[in-house]
């Protein structure tokens, strides 16, 4: 039997190994089936083993997996075209992960600042944010748990409370080194924190007034997750920079940093790079994902299914004492309890349901965009039972 003996102790994985998947269903090595309401943490938006993605990457693999960014890559050009068409942005840098996409954004913001003769370019980041695990991105992250032990942190970030425009206005008055604001349209890791409906509009305005870049980390919210291709489209604004990863390759590692021409123009050959970033295989996956999302109209399906799931959960949990709030945007949903519920992670697994617990008290759901109504009903039923059982047992 395989074990964790030679794996670095960065995760404490559950004693379950999945062998195969189809759509929203995973099967473990004992043949037990699970309903996946987590999608590998917002990665497998099209569900598991989607035939269009499988075919695209297997075909590409028989032809060419990797060349180098020293040469043109047709899939990369095509994927960049498609992402720009969908987002209204102008240029793309491809990476292999979310953290690397954010690294590109941070480097771009610093170049942008130096070009304006700001010697200590500084980026406004938020409390309780998550931007990744590399040194720069963990420094940008608003969580001591992520940072502790890795000091000295990277300089050049100032922090503001999330969903608080006034605090950033105050920073604007007192700090002439600011070059950008980096923010998640919905905070995922800290438990589906949804800001006021006009928060991004106000941030856009503030960035315009101060000539700052608005940099949206859409690594979790992007690619249809919130019921729009990108969450900023709810606000009818456009960021200067946007980062993507997670669902872009449906599980094939790929990240992207998109920018407007104005922001992207600071990047010149030699400024930044990646050996693997945007290789033919990863971009074949990205192209297949977008094509499938378009042909199966998954963005509008995610919007509708998100409303259905939210309303069903709100209805079932409405009068349950101990449930503080049920909230969501598209298929990003959170159920906040008034007490810790970390044990629900393994309890749900036993019941054949995959979900995550954030900040000890919040159940996070990120089901695939292809979720059926029956599967949504099954999620609601299982969660309602789990939550009620937990709260009754705590009350007893």
Ligand X SMILES: *Cc1c(COP(=O)(O)O)cnc(C)c1O
Active site residues: 130, 217, 246
By C-beta, is 102 or 122 nearer to ligand X? 102
Per CB under 6 A, 184 contacts ligand X = yes
What is the size of the binding site for ligand X (CB under 6 A)? 15
* Angle ∠(77,137,65) on CA atoms, nearest 5: 30
Among 23, 113, 132, 239, binds ligand X (CB under 6 A): 132
Strand partners, 362: 336, 358
**Considering the rule CB under 6 A, would residue 245 count as an interface residue with ligand X?**
yes
Nearest approach in angstroms of CB 243 to ligand X is 7
188 lies in the binding site for ligand X (CB under 6 A): yes
For residue 38, the minimal CB distance to ligand X (Å) is 12
The torsion of the CA quartet 80, 84, 85, 86, rounded to 10 degrees, works out to 110
Q: Which of 26, 53, 92, 99 binds ligand X (CB under 6 A)?
A: 99
Cβ atoms within 10 Å, residue 149? 6
Q: How far is the CB of 101 from ligand X (least distance, A)?
A: 8
Contact 206, 165 (CB under 8 A): yes
Report d(CA 143, CA 130) in Å as an integer.
Answer: 7
One of 190, 220, 260, 312 touching ligand X (CB under 6 A): 220
Q: Give the one residue of 50, 82, 131, 327 binding ligand X; rule: CB under 6 A.
A: 131
Q: Which is nearer to ligand X, 42 or 391 (CB)?
A: 42
**How far apart (Å, rounded) are the C-alpha atoms in residues 192 and 171?**
26
97 belongs to the binding site for ligand X (CB under 6 A):
yes
Of 109, 160, 219, 288, the residue at the interface with ligand X (CB under 6 A) is 219
Q: How far is the CB of 321 from ligand X (least distance, A)?
A: 32
Q: How far is 365 from 379, CA to CA, in rounded Å?
A: 9
Given candidates 45, 98, 121, 367, which one binds ligand X under the rule CB under 6 A? Answer: 98
Decide whether 216 or 317 has the Cβ nearer to ligand X. 216
Nearer to ligand X, 110 or 246 (CB): 246
Name the residue nearer to ligand X (CB basis): 103 or 316: 103
Q: Which stretch binds ligand X (CB under 6 A): 217-225, 226-234, 278-286, 366-374?
A: 217-225
Residue 142 binding ligand X, by CB under 6 A: no
Query: What would the two tokens of residue 152 be?
Result: 């000295």
Residues in region 310-349 near ligand X by CB under 6 A = none
At residue 27's C-alpha, the angle toward residues 26 and 32, to 5°, is 125
- For residue 128, CA distances in Å to 40, 47, 159 come to 21, 29, 10
**Residue 217 is a binding residue for ligand X (CB under 6 A):** yes
> Nearer Cβ to ligand X, position 217 or 316?
217
Nearer to ligand X, 234 or 382 (CB): 234
CB of 52 to ligand X, least distance (A): 23
The CB-of-264 to ligand X minimum distance in angstroms stands at 20
Binding site for ligand X (CB under 6 A): 97-99, 102, 130-132, 184, 188-189, 217, 219-220, 245-246
């Amino acid at each position: 039997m395989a074990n964790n003996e030679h794996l670095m102790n960065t995760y404490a994985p559950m004693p379950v190994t999945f062998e195969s998947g189809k759509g929203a269903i995973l099967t473990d090595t004992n043949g037990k089936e699970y309903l996946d309401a987590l999608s590998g943490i917002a990665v497998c938006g099209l569900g598991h083993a989607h035939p269009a993605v499988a075919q695209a990457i297997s075909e590409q693999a028989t032809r060419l997996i990797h060349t180098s960014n020293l040469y043109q890559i047709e899939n990369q050009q095509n994927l960049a075209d498609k992402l720009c068409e969908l987002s209204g942005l102008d240029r793309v840098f491809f990476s292999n992960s979310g953290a690397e996409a954010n690294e590109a954004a941070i480097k771009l913001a610093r170049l942008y600042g130096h070009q304006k003769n700001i010697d200590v370019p500084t980026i406004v980041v938020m409390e309780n944010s998550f931007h990744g695990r590399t040194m720069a991105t963990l420094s940008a992250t608003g969580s001591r748990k992520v940072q502790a032990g890795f000091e000295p942190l990277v300089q050049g970030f100032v922090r503001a409370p999330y969903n608080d425009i006034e605090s950033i206005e105050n920073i604007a008055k007192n700090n002439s080194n600011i070059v950008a604001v980096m923010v998640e349209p919905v905070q995922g890791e800290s438990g589906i924190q949804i800001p006021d409906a006009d928060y991004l509009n106000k941030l856009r305005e503030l960035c315009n007034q101060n000539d700052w870049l608005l940099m949206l980390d859409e690594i979790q919210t992007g690619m249809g997750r919130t019921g729009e291709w990108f969450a900023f489209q709810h606000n009818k604004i456009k960021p200067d920079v946007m980062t993507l990863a997670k669902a872009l390759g449906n599980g094939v590692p790929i990240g992207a940093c998109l920018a407007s021409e104005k922001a992207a123009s600071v990047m010149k050959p030699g400024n930044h790079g990646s050996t693997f970033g945007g290789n033919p295989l990863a971009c074949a996956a990205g192209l297949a994902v977008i094509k499938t999302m378009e042909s199966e109209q998954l963005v509008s399906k995610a919007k509708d299914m998100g409303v259905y799931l939210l309303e069903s959960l709100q209805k079932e949990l409405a009068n349950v004492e101990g449930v503080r709030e049920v909230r969501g945007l598209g298929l990003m949903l959170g159920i906040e309890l008034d007490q810790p519920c970390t044990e629900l992670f393994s309890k749900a697994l036993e019941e054949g349901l995959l979900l995550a617990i954030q900040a000890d008290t919040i159940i996070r759901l990120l089901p695939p965009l292809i979720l059926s109504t029956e599967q949504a009903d099954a999620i609601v039923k299982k969660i309602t039972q789990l939550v009620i059982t937990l709260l009754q047992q705590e009350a007893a």
